[in-house]
A and B are shown apart, each in its own frame.
Chain A
Amino acid sequence: MAEMSEGFDEQRFASLLAMAGPSCALELTQRLDEDLSRISQALATAEMAADLPALHAQSHVLLAIAGSVGAEKLHLLSRRLNDKMRAADGSRVSELLADIVVDLGALIQRVRLARKTLMPR
């Protein structure tokens, strides 16, 4: 989990889970896991196919989720990708995506850890 501490607002994430309350927090982490994993898969597919509209769509969802849960660095990276895609700028996208994949993976791990702690024993 060391990777996630950089550019991640733990307090924001914790307050989001607290706001959801015990009953919804578990479901929220499950949905986050599913959404983030889906985005990760979709980004990889879109990169392989050089599908800029798909990258645009995925960056839109990712920046919204990342910003909501406090993943600030990932939010910044995905906003950068979103801006590039909106401008139909395909340059240096692979490098940007490489950074996104790392942070996205870390966020998924962070969410799974939170989910684990929320599960009834």
Chain B
Amino acid sequence: MMKPANRHTLTSVLLIEDTPSLQLVYGTVLSGAGYPVRVASSAAEGIAAFTKEESQIVLLDLGLPDRDGLDVMREMLALRPDTRIIVITANASINKAVEAMRAGAHEFLVKPFDENRFLTAVQNAQDRAISRSSASRENARKDAGPGAPRPFLGSSDVMERIHSKIGSVANSMATVFITGESGTGKELAALAVHASSHRAKGPFIALNCGAIPHDLLESEVFGHVKGSFTGAISDRPGAATAADGGTLFLDEICEMAPALQTKLLRFLQTSTVLPVGSNRPQKVNVRIICATNRDPLDAVRRGHFREDLYYRLFVVPIHMPPLRERGNDVVEIAEAALLQFAEEEGRSFDGLSKEVLDLFRRLPWPGNVRQVLNVIRNVVVLNDGGLVTPNMLPEDLTEPNDASRTLVQPLVADPPEPEVEGLLGRSLAEVERIVVTATLVRYGGSVPKAARVLDVSPSTLYRKLEGWAKT
């Protein structure tokens, strides 16, 4: 007989089943595995026992004589949403399973009784119940202490509003949709929401939908079973399963392939995961945060993003402002970065000179916070220490009216704008680089603007630029 991993922490199981012989069969197996069991023979009796005792796991037969089993489950979940309810039914239809999972069931077992499946389901529910109560205790302890540290730097009015919004939304289950240019700190904001929530002890799983090949993305999100496709040599859980009990952060959500958007929508509606090649849906408890550097509504209008998915996800929007709209935040960020990087590199700096601070305030920072951090890292690595003066800054960091050179300069000394004739005979990679460079020149070095024209995400463009800068 299969035994639970830890007998010392077993929670009691409430079994609601009206057939006496089946009560005894299920009860015997559970008791044999060490679970304290309480049995109820009807919906009314079950609800009464549930209300009276703190059972975290309920085994519920859907075919009860006095009431529909799904209604009973809904009532229980309304009373205690953390309860893990395993439904048992003779009706093996997919619709019934989906209906039960959608209503909040932890797992769906089809009669007749199979000891191994039965105990595995209960043990899974037990494991989740334990981790959940540990997390609750930890959160309670944390809540009792001093306030959590601020997730990221910036005391401008606009960032104060964002800090406040993150604090308000953190403990809800609502989906958060973060927008903003590349480098504005969207992932940090997502982490801040997670860290301030009751799920903080659970996993935070980030997935960049734009960085994974479309044909692998489904497997990355939902997992796969062994043999489901060439190269699937073993079962592998996806990001949605890995994030169970925590937060799943889907970055560059607008880059997701349409077919996968449909599956994501279904996942959001049912909270169940169906790994590639599997026919057994698995219930997960995940909070979704997504982000994009595009205008999501524009992506909907262009037909790149499903409208129903947009409305499902766009529940609590948070817009991360570009650094140029954050007033003095650039100074705070630069000074903090100087301290941190100097310590990491074993150098000693005396701060930023007035001229440097003034310049920083005037610059448009098209790469936002990421660009500031790169500049400061450059200064720290290439200088021994002292007060940071303008001559210590990277040469390509120039005044706003000359901003077009900031990004283009490292790539090509004299950016060409060739005619088609001039492109013939070149490799596709060379053509791509020439076109990207020329577009950047035309749009004053603005990566977001060039990305819009080229119909790619700014982060894709940043990756290309970084790659080319190394060659």
The answer to whether A and B assemble together is yes
Q: Which residues of A contact B (CB under 8 A)?
A: 16, 19-21, 24, 27-28, 31-32, 34-36, 57, 60-61, 63-68, 75, 79, 82, 86
**Shortest distance from the beta carbon of A49 to any chain B beta carbon, whole Å:** 18
Contact between chains at B25 and A63 (CB < 8 Å): no
From B1, B21, B32, B115, give the contact of A31 (CB < 8 A).
Answer: B21
Contact between chains at B113 and A67 (CB < 8 Å): yes
Contact between chains at B25 and A61 (CB < 8 Å): no
Contact between chains at A64 and B113 (CB < 8 Å): yes
**Shortest distance from the beta carbon of A76 to any chain B beta carbon, whole Å:** 11
Contact between chains at A35 and B32 (CB < 8 Å): no
Contact between chains at B91 and A86 (CB < 8 Å): yes
Q: For the complex, is B149 an interface residue (Cβ under 8 Å from A)?
A: no
Given contacts A19-B29, A20-B28, A24-B28, contact A32 B111 (CB under 8 A): no
Contact between chains at A31 and B24 (CB < 8 Å): yes
Residues on A with beta carbons closer than 8 Å to the beta carbon of B21: 28, 31-32, 34-36, 65, 68
Complex alpha-carbon distance, A68 and B17, angstroms:
14
Closest to A75 in B: B112
From B28, B63, B111, B115, give the contact of A67 (CB < 8 A).
Answer: B111
Q: For the complex, is B22 an interface residue (Cβ under 8 Å from A)?
A: yes
**Shortest distance from the beta carbon of B110 to any chain A beta carbon, whole Å:** 9
Q: For the complex, is B20 an interface residue (Cβ under 8 Å from A)?
A: yes
Q: For the complex, is B233 an interface residue (Cβ under 8 Å from A)?
A: no
Contact between chains at B22 and A19 (CB < 8 Å): no
Complex alpha-carbon distance, A27 and B27, angstroms:
13
Complex alpha-carbon distance, A27 and B113, angstroms:
18
Contact between chains at B32 and A61 (CB < 8 Å): no
Chain B contributes a number of interface residues (CB within 8 A of A) equal to: 18
Residues on B with beta carbons closer than 8 Å to the beta carbon of A64: 19, 22, 90, 111-113
What number of A-B contacts does a CB cutoff of 8 Å give? Answer: 65
Contact between chains at A19 and B20 (CB < 8 Å): no
**Shortest distance from the beta carbon of B132 to any chain A beta carbon, whole Å:** 30
One digit per residue, 1 when the CB lies within 8 angstroms of any chain A CB and 0 when it does not, for chain B 100-115 equals 0000000000011101
Closest to A17 in B: B28
**Shortest distance from the beta carbon of A30 to any chain B beta carbon, whole Å:** 9
Residues on A with beta carbons closer than 8 Å to the beta carbon of B20: 31, 34-35
9 A–B contact pairs at CB < 8 A?
Answer: A16-B25, A27-B24, A28-B25, A31-B20, A34-B20, A35-B22, A57-B63, A60-B63, A64-B22
Per DSSP, are chain B's interface residues mostly helix, strand or loop, or mixed?
A: helix
From B24, B63, B111, B113, give the contact of A28 (CB < 8 A).
Answer: B24
Complex alpha-carbon distance, A79 and B89, angstroms:
12
Closest to B115 in A: A19
One digit per residue, 1 when the CB lies within 8 angstroms of any chain A CB and 0 when it does not, for chain B 20-43 equals 111111001100100000000000
- Extra contacts, 18 of them, besides A19-B29, A32-B21, A64-B111 (Cβ < 8 A), are A16-B25, A20-B24, A24-B24, A24-B28, A27-B24, A34-B20, A36-B21, A57-B63, A61-B19, A63-B90, A63-B111, A63-B112, A64-B19, A64-B90, A65-B22, A67-B113, A68-B22, A82-B91
Residues on A with beta carbons closer than 8 Å to the beta carbon of B24: 20, 24, 27-28, 31
Residues on A with beta carbons closer than 8 Å to the beta carbon of B113: 64, 67-68
Contact between chains at B19 and A35 (CB < 8 Å): yes
Complex alpha-carbon distance, A32 and B90, angstroms:
18
Query: Which residue, B21, B91, B115, has most C-beta atoms of chain A within 10 A?
Result: B21
Complex alpha-carbon distance, A1 and B29, angstroms:
28
One digit per residue, 1 when the CB lies within 8 angstroms of any chain A CB and 0 when it does not, for chain B 393-426 equals 0000000000000000000000000000000000
Complex alpha-carbon distance, A75 and B113, angstroms:
12
Complex alpha-carbon distance, A68 and B117, angstroms:
13
Residues on A with beta carbons closer than 8 Å to the beta carbon of B112: 63-68, 75
Which 4 A-B residue pairings sit nearest by Cβ, starting from the closest?
A: A67-B112, A64-B111, A31-B21, A68-B113
**Shortest distance from the beta carbon of B61 to any chain A beta carbon, whole Å:** 8
From B19, B29, B91, B115, give the contact of A65 (CB < 8 A).
Answer: B19
Complex alpha-carbon distance, A67 and B91, angstroms:
13
Complex alpha-carbon distance, A39 and B22, angstroms:
14
Complex alpha-carbon distance, A64 and B32, angstroms:
21
Complex alpha-carbon distance, A55 and B24, angstroms:
24
Closest to A70 in B: B112
Complex alpha-carbon distance, A28 and B25, angstroms:
7
**Shortest distance from the beta carbon of B91 to any chain A beta carbon, whole Å:** 7
Residues on B with beta carbons closer than 8 Å to the beta carbon of A67: 111-113
Complex alpha-carbon distance, A64 and B19, angstroms:
10
Residues on A with beta carbons closer than 8 Å to the beta carbon of B25: 16, 20, 28, 68
Complex alpha-carbon distance, A24 and B31, angstroms:
12
**Shortest distance from the beta carbon of A78 to any chain B beta carbon, whole Å:** 9
Residues on B with beta carbons closer than 8 Å to the beta carbon of A66: 112
Closest to A111 in B: B21
Residues on B with beta carbons closer than 8 Å to the beta carbon of A79: 90
Complex alpha-carbon distance, A20 and B29, angstroms:
8
**Shortest distance from the beta carbon of B42 to any chain A beta carbon, whole Å:** 14
**Shortest distance from the beta carbon of B27 to any chain A beta carbon, whole Å:** 9
Residues on A with beta carbons closer than 8 Å to the beta carbon of B111: 63-64, 67-68
Complex alpha-carbon distance, A79 and B92, angstroms:
10
Residues on B with beta carbons closer than 8 Å to the beta carbon of A65: 19, 21-22, 112
Complex alpha-carbon distance, A27 and B21, angstroms:
9
Contact between chains at A19 and B1 (CB < 8 Å): yes
Query: Which residue, B23, B29, B113, has most C-beta atoms of chain A within 10 A?
Result: B113
